[in-house]
Structure formats: structure tokens, C-alpha cells
């Protein structure tokens, strides 16, 4: 049923915000419905409704532009957040339009081409040139990596003074200096003379050790911490580290046995399913230059290694026998995990080693 124009005009003028429904018109509470209605009516009806000034016409034109921009083929993709064109033809038209409207010189941020996006499967405009697979540097202009050949300046060194027998032996590992003296004061004075001759700005920290101390207990206290009581038995001082290794294995689905006495060693961790054994060896066995702890007295460590050389050879033979039987042996030095700043990274590396062994075993089977 059509409502006469004069009746509808009176109804519009008398409508207030409290009214919900006007016969033949949408609700005035809904701004979106009201704008759509305004866009759909004719010019005659708009004149009856009082839209006569240029400002009202410009507002209506802006509303039409806004509606058209929402319904056009290029929209903002939710996957990558860029203006998306559904077809390649739409992207070509948009790129030609942008290039035609461009004025002045070409800037770096101006769109130069379009490409197919692998995320939203639409087309986007970009200002980046197409990658040709070649370096943008020529052989002449290619930057050369500069290596700093000047070593870092030492701020301090550790000096070990050891009382072995009747001799006082001083060692400066950073300078590869070694010597003997008749007394402790003479050894300290010799070290100061060497430091002044090399560089008087470097400070020396002295560490003392005597042969009446047990170097195995000394090393155990270094690992466990001076505040913790420990013995020379491996589980006594290395249990916190082994607990971390077992924890990261258990949290990632690996099941194991610890200190299995059926095998020589015994191994610290045994994974029967993957036929893998893990050994964490004491730093007393390897060279001090390879050690990250660098807290052991060099001369006393050398003497201890010469005394226990047969034990080391027997341990190597036993592990070689396990490898011949089909076991995978993973050996690590204790000092690999002693740095708190790198411990998380080293634990992940240990986990990756076990995973690679498990994957190789699964592929072979």
C-alpha cells in the first residue's frame, strides 16, 4: 500500500527518537538501515524529506562512496592485512590506475607490480622489485666481511701456585708460563715480574693448592658448590646435572634407566628401547685447554692423569665393546653444562642428539 507524499512528509517531521516504527519507513534507531534507505530513495522523495542544501548532498555522496568502497572487489585480507584483489584482471586495472594517477618522479614506495599471495590466494600490489636470484652487489661493490685480527685485551689472569713435594710450582695458563721456586713468596714475586714485563695493566688472581689435598674431592666441590657437602663418588656431586638431563628426556617422552649395574661404567642413563647409553665424564680426564671450567690446578691434574692412565684405557675399551655390541654411546664432558648462560641451549642440543639417534634407529628398522 502506497502512502501519499504529504502523509509521509508529516509522519517524518513528527517522528521522534522514541518512536520505533513509522509506517512504510525503516526504524530511525538503526543508522545503517537509515543510510541504506537514504541511498535507495529517489531525488523527488529526497526533496520531500528536506535534503536540499549542498552540505547534505555532499554527506550523502560520501555515504555512497563509503558503501561502494565496502562492496568493491579489492578488500583488506584478514590473512595478511593487505588490500586484496580477487582476480588478476582486477590487480592489473588497479596497477594501471595507480600508475596513471601518479605525478612527478617515481618514488621507492610507489607500486610497481602485482603478485599472487600464498596466504590469502589473492593479488596484492607491491613496490618491491622482482627477485631475480642474483645478488644486488657486483663483484666490485660486494661488501667484504672484516675479521678483527686483534685479540681482545686481557683484563685479568688466573695464576696457580701449587706446593708439590718440596717445590712451589707457578703456572699462568693464559701466557703458557711455567716454573719452579723455592718458596711461595718467591713464586709470587716471579709471577709479578712476568706480569710487569708483559703488561702491567693486567691483574693477577692467585689460586693456591697443595699435594696433601685430594684433587678428586677438590673437583667435586667445584662442581657441587662449596656450600654443599659431597664425596668423590660421581652420583654425590654430579646428581643435580644428571637430574636435569633425565628430566628433559622424560618430559619429551623418553623412558630410561639410571646407573644400570649390568653394564660397565655404569652408564649414567640407559635408553633400552633405542639401545643408547649416555656418559657424563669428569673434567679430570681431559686437557685443561679444552675445559670450560678452568679451575683445576694444571700440574696436579697432569700428575693425577698419569697415575690413572690405566683406568682411562680400560674405560675406553669397555665403551668400544659396547659399540661393537650395537649400542650407541653418547659421551659428554661435565664442563659442557657448567655455564648457566648456555645451559638451556646445551640441554636442547643433548635432546636433539638423542632424538637423532632414535630417528636413525626408526628408519633402519
- Coil, helix or strand for 285? helix
Positions of the chain with pLDDT under 70: 1-52, 64-75, 77-79, 131-154, 226-227, 288, 365
The predicted structure's pLDDT at residue 332 = 93
Cell of 110: 610507489
**Mean pLDDT of all residues in the chain?**
76
CATH number of 236-363: 3.40.960.10
Q: At what angle do helices 215-224 and 234-251 cross, to 10 degrees?
A: 40
Structural domain boundaries in the chain: 75-129, 154-210, 236-363
Name the one residue in this structure whose C-alpha cell is 668423590.
Answer: 232
The predicted structure's pLDDT at residue 22 = 38
DSSP for 299-359, please give it: HHHHHHHHHTHHHHHHHHHHHHHHHHTT-EEEEEEGGGG--TTTHHHHHHHHHHHHHHHHH
DSSP for 249-275, please give it: HHHTT---EES-TTSSS--SEEEGGGT
The predicted structure's pLDDT at residue 8 = 44
The predicted structure's pLDDT at residue 164 = 87
Taking CA atoms, 149 is separated from 99, 153, 175, 213, 289, in Å, by: 52, 12, 18, 42, 21
Amino acid at each position: 500500500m502506497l502512502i501519499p507524499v504529504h502523509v509521509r512528509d508529516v509522519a517524518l517531521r513528527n517522528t521522534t527518537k522514541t518512536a520505533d516504527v513509522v509506517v512504510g519507513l525503516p526504524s530511525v534507531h538503526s543508522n545503517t538501515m537509515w543510510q541504506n534507505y537514504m541511498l535507495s530513495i529517489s531525488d523527488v522523495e529526497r526533496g520531500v524529506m528536506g535534503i536540499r542544501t549542498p552540505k547534505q548532498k555532499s554527506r550523502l555522496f560520501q555515504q555512497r562512496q563509503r558503501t561502494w568502497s565496502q562492496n568493491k572487489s579489492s578488500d583488506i585480507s584478514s590473512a595478511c592485512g593487505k588490500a586484496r584483489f580477487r582476480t588478476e584482471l582486477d590487480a592489473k586495472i588497479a596497477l594501471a590506475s595507480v600508475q596513471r594517477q601518479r605525478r612527478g618522479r617515481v618514488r621507492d614506495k610507489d607500486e610497481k607490480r602485482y603478485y599472487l599471495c600464498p596466504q590469502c590466494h589473492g593479488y596484492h600490489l607491491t613496490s618491491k622489485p622482482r627477485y631475480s636470484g642474483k645478488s644486488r652487489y657486483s663483484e666490485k661493490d660486494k661488501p667484504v666481511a672484516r675479521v678483527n685480527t686483534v685479540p681482545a685485551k686481557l683484563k685479568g689472569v688466573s695464576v696457580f701456585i701449587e706446593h708439590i713435594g718440596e717445590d712451589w710450582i707457578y703456572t699462568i695458563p693464559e701466557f703458557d708460563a711455567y716454573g719452579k721456586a723455592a718458596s711461595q713468596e718467591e713464586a709470587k714475586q716471579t709471577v709479578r715480574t712476568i706480569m710487569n714485563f708483559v703488561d702491567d695493566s693486567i691483574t693477577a688472581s692467585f689460586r693456591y693448592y697443595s699435594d696433601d689435598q685430594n684433587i678428586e674431592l677438590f673437583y667435586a666441590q667445584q662442581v657441587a658448590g662449596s656450600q654443599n657437602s659431597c664425596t668423590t663418588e660421581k652420583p654425590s656431586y654430579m646428581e643435580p646435572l644428571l637430574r636435569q638431563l633425565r628430566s628433559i628426556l622424560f618430559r619429551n617422552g623418553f623412558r630410561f634407566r639410571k646407573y644400570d649395574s649390568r653394564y660397565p661404567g655404569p652408564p649414567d642413563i640407559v635408553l633400552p628401547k633405542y639401545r643408547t647409553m649416555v656418559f657424563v665424564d669428569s673434567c679430570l680426564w681431559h686437557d685443561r685447554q679444552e675445559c670450560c671450567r678452568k679451575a683445576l690446578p694444571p700440574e696436579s691434574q697432569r700428575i693425577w692423569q698419569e697415575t690413572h692412565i690405566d683406568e682411562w684405557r680400560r674405560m675406553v675399551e669397555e665403551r668400544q665393546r659396547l659399540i661393537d655390541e650395537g649400542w650407541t654411546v653418547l659421551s659428554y664432558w661435565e664442563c659442557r653444562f657448567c655455564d648457566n648462560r648456555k645451559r638451556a641451549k646445551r640441554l636442547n642440543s643433548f635432546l636433539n642428539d638423542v632424538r637423532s639417534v632414535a630417528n636413525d634407529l626408526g628408519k633402519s628398522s
